[in-house]
């Protein structure tokens, strides 16, 4: 395995070399062979040997990155890779470069008195969710492998410790740029921007104003990502700017959830007392975060340039969102059909219907029929009937067959109760349920025995608030 160290070498003054503290008697029960094959990485045993030597020590250089971030709207400069280490970068045969990033390997200079560890519960949740979003075609970081140990990590109670290797185009966050801007380290900020342009956004270098092109690209990618979150009911849970990737990929999974019993203002992070990161506030928060990032560009762009970039967010988000949502229900992408979509969402919200299951049931329903069994899922049948007559006429006019809509409407999402069952088993040393759930989420749009097993909603009580602790 050939690792490159571009970030650590070219931006040496933004990182700290760290000697990791591996867990004792580690094993690797989860390994992403699909992702490994893309980058021609070795099999799981060889990967362990390439990363750790016989004594369990890290066999390659590792660095922790420094950054800050706005956490729940408040600036915090005392952040950085508190439990994550950049091992280096690998490339596939197309020249695509991805970071290898190890999480849970002990303290770094940025751990702030924390232990730098991760527990199996949160690590397995991230592993499964990132692969689920990837197969739903939502941009995301990806999990390469999960390592666990008998060594306990204390959170509220002792829990099994774990580590994982995450892959992404880079681990550069909004908070990287913010930190060097707010600390008035313009030279370092300029180096970071040049590195980002050269290695990750080279197309922007062809623009008359590369920095404006870069901020525009980040804005557009973020808008498209959040539109897909909204379309598929994903709640990130903690959209601090240090958890926002410049690549517009879903990043830093914590108290996330997919909405089941639909509630437009759903909050799952038990630390989010004011609902800042509620489902329906995610687009606005994404734009707020982009505004926070944009200050770092003020040394290169004037106010009008920055405003021109950021004003692209709303139309891009709305265009992507309406296209995805109208496509999901088989309607043409035009403004005339948006009220029909909004009424459908209002019906789901009013009766807390299961979001994913309701879309799937809808596209299995014959629009030729004036009265359909789907109406029995709703208490207010008159409201459904009125909407159905409007919808079916629009649907018939569009002429889209039901079969064409299956690849847009998943049968499987990583529901909280299935995740918890997999975690409970894994904590007892049985990763069979986790592997079986992974098999289902890798084919979310297919209808077969394994996906049907993981398609049922949980009880309303099964999707409560979730902890940030990891």
Report which of 335, 438, 337, 409 is spatially closest to residue 126, judged by C-alpha positions: 438
Is position 99 annotated in a ligand binding site? Answer: no
Catalytic residues: 242
Is position 252 annotated in a ligand binding site? Answer: yes
Question: Which CA distances in Å does 317 have to 17, 307, 324, 430?
Answer: 39, 16, 11, 42
| CA angle (231 as vertex; 226, 232 as ends), nearest 5 | 100
Cα–Cα distance measured from residue 62 to residue 231, given in angstroms and rounded to the nearest whole number: 38
Please identify which residue in the block is written with the tokens 């979003």: 133
What are the structure tokens assigned to 378, written together?
A: 């709703």
Cα–Cα distance measured from residue 77 to residue 71, given in angstroms and rounded to the nearest whole number: 10
N- to C-terminal Cα separation, the chain? 29
Is position 137 annotated in a ligand binding site? Answer: no
Cα–Cα distance measured from residue 281 to residue 172, given in angstroms and rounded to the nearest whole number: 24
Is position 32 annotated in a ligand binding site? Answer: no
**Other C-beta atoms lying within 10 Å of the C-beta of residue 293:** 26
- E strand or H helix that includes residue 229: helix 210-232
Is position 166 annotated in a ligand binding site? Answer: yes
- Beta 257-258 vs 234-235: how paired, if at all? antiparallel
Kindly provide the residue ranges of all beta strands, DSSP E only, lying in 47-141, ordered along the sequence.
63-71, 74-80, 84-91, 97-103, 118-119
Is position 56 annotated in a ligand binding site? Answer: no
What are the structure tokens assigned to 433, written together?
A: 């349920």
Is position 187 annotated in a ligand binding site? Answer: no
Cα–Cα distance measured from residue 128 to residue 406, given in angstroms and rounded to the nearest whole number: 22
Is position 125 annotated in a ligand binding site? Answer: no
Is position 103 annotated in a ligand binding site? Answer: yes
Cα–Cα distance measured from residue 127 to residue 30, given in angstroms and rounded to the nearest whole number: 9
**Bridge partner list, 66:** 80
Is position 305 annotated in a ligand binding site? Answer: no
Annotated binding site for ATP: 80, 82-83, 103, 115-116, 166, 173, 252
Annotated binding site for Mg(2+): 243, 252
Annotated binding site: 80, 82-83, 103, 115-116, 166, 173, 243, 252
């Amino acid at each position: 395995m050939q690792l490159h160290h571009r970030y650590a070498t070219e931006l040496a003054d933004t990182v700290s070399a760290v000697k990791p503290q591996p867990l004792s008697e580690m094993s690797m029960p989860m390994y992403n062979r699909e992702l490994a094959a893309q980058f021609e990485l070795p099999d799981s045993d060889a990967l362990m040997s390439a990363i750790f030597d016989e004594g369990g020590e890290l066999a390659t250089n590792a660095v922790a990155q420094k950054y800050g971030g706005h956490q729940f709207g408040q600036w915090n400069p005392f952040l950085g890779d508190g439990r994550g280490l950049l091992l280096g970068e690998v490339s596939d045969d197309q020249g695509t470069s991805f970071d290898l990033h190890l999480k849970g390997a002990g303290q770094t200079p940025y751990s702030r008195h924390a232990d730098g560890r991760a527990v199996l519960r949160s690590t397995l949740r991230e592993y499964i969710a990132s692969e689920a979003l990837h197969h739903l075609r939502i941009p995301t970081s990806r999990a390469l492998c999960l390592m666990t140990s008998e060594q306990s990590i204390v959170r509220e109670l002792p829990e099994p410790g774990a580590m994982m290797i995450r892959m992404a185009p880079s681990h550069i966050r909004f908070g990287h740029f913010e930190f060097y801007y707010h600390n008035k380290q313009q030279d370092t900020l300029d180096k970071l921007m040049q590195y980002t342009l050269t290695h990750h956004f080279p197309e922007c270098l062809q623009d008359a104003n590369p920095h404006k092109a870069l901020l525009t690209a980040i804005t557009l990618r973020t808008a498209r990502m959040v539109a897909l979150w909204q379309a598929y009911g994903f709640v990130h849970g903690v959209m601090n700017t240090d958890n926002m990737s410049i690549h517009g990929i879903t990043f830093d999974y914590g108290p996330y959830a997919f909405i089941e019993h639909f509630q437009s203002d759903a909050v799952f992070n038990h630390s989010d007392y004011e609902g800042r990161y509620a489902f329906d506030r995610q687009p606005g928060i994404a734009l707020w975060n982009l505004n926070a990032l944009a200050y770092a560009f003020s040394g290169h762009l004037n106010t009008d340039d920055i405003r021109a970039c950021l004003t692209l967010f709303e139309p891009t988000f709305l265009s992507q969102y309406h296209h995805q949502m109208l496509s999901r229900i088989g309607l043409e992408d035009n403004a005339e059909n948006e009220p029909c979509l909004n009424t459908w969402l209002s019906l789901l919200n009013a009766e807390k219907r299961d979001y994913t299951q309701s879309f799937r049931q809808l596209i299995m329903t014959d629009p030729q029929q004036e009265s359909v069994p789907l109406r029995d899922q709703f208490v207010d049948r008159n409201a459904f009937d009125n909407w159905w007559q409007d919808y079916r006429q629009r649907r018939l006019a569009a002429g889209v067959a039901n079969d064409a809509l299956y690849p847009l409407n998943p049968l499987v999402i990583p529901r909280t109760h299935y995740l918890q069952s997999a975690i409970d088993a894994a904590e007892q040393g049985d990763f069979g349920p986790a592997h079986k759930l992974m098999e289902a989420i890798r084919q979310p749009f297919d209808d077969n025995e394994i996906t049907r097993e993981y398609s049922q909603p949980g009880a309303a009580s099964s999707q409560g608030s979730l902890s940030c602790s990891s």
